A and B are shown apart, each in its own frame.
Chain A
């Protein structure tokens, strides 16, 4: 038994018909334009902030990179003067004031089955590519050196014992 009011089906028809209706599209367009006018400063502020952040991040990144590169060059001028030397020479001071220069990688030196040491004197000018300071006054000098050779006679490292 239908307990609905006789006008309920008519309201159903009206609801169904009205559901098809929306506000004209122009209303939304007008409102969004009004919104853009209402919040222009806030939008521009966010955009400016984002741009400033990007600029700040980029500037800091560039500065950090530059400082790092300059620091490395200051600590090891040889890297700047001779990029190839970076791969073939490791340089350190030993406890007796001598200068140890690895001409091969530490792994290669450690794996050498029969290394041998010879004492010799080398001209200072020949050491210039390894980063040894060279001036007109000391260009003709010789430096006492201990050469570490591999079994095939290949120089593995050199230790300069009489150099400032």
Chain B
């Protein structure tokens, strides 16, 4: 990213991109790919899936399958919303091919009030180690154990420092729901990580 494009507002880069400027598109990608990839990685637990989500989100921006209107907000929250919807769709597709026993387990917590489901939707990625730092890896695994709608809120608030209003817009819920999910999600994480905090060696065992 050169000096000019690194300071150019997203809206101007988008306009240039839609006029065929490849460097504007590259600048937009380099500015937003990191946070988007990290959100998707924490959300679904698979680096390959996260890369696919990032690619599809930007592809949609390019083809205007996902039409961003600068008058309605910032690009970053918009992209988070796109990524979240793509992940939800992937999860929905996986649910359709899941075993009946797993579907029954999903149905059992359909009220959405339990932040700690018996089994995460992505039951392969989260269990694979992704981070070198032990504490970070413990938090990531604990996050992966949260129910997806709690995970969304906690990741967007704690990792990306978005406001309640932005998170509410991304998750298509009201601000009160964001507050309660954040509170319950953090409480579930604290409970899951409590043992690790007081005795890291025991937690790793």
Contact = CB atoms under 8 A, between A and B. Distances in A.
Contacts of A17: 131-133, 136-137
B54 A27 contact: yes
Interface in B12-43: 19-20, 22, 25-26, 29-30, 33-34, 36-38, 41-42
Interface residues of B, number: 40
B25 to A, nearest CB: 5
Interface string A2-35: 0001110111011111110111101110111011
Given A22-B37, A23-B50, A11 B159 contact: yes
Contact of B186 (A5, A22, A24, A34): A5
Contacts of A10: 135-136, 138-139, 193, 197
Interface of B: 19-20, 22, 25-26, 29-30, 33-34, 36-38, 41-42, 47, 50-51, 54-55, 58-59, 62-63, 131-133, 135-140, 158-159, 186, 189-190, 193-194, 197
10 contacts: A10-B136, A10-B197, A18-B38, A18-B41, A23-B33, A23-B36, A31-B25, A31-B59, A35-B62, A36-B22
Interface of A: 5-7, 9-11, 13-19, 21-24, 26-28, 30-32, 34-36, 38-39, 42-43, 46
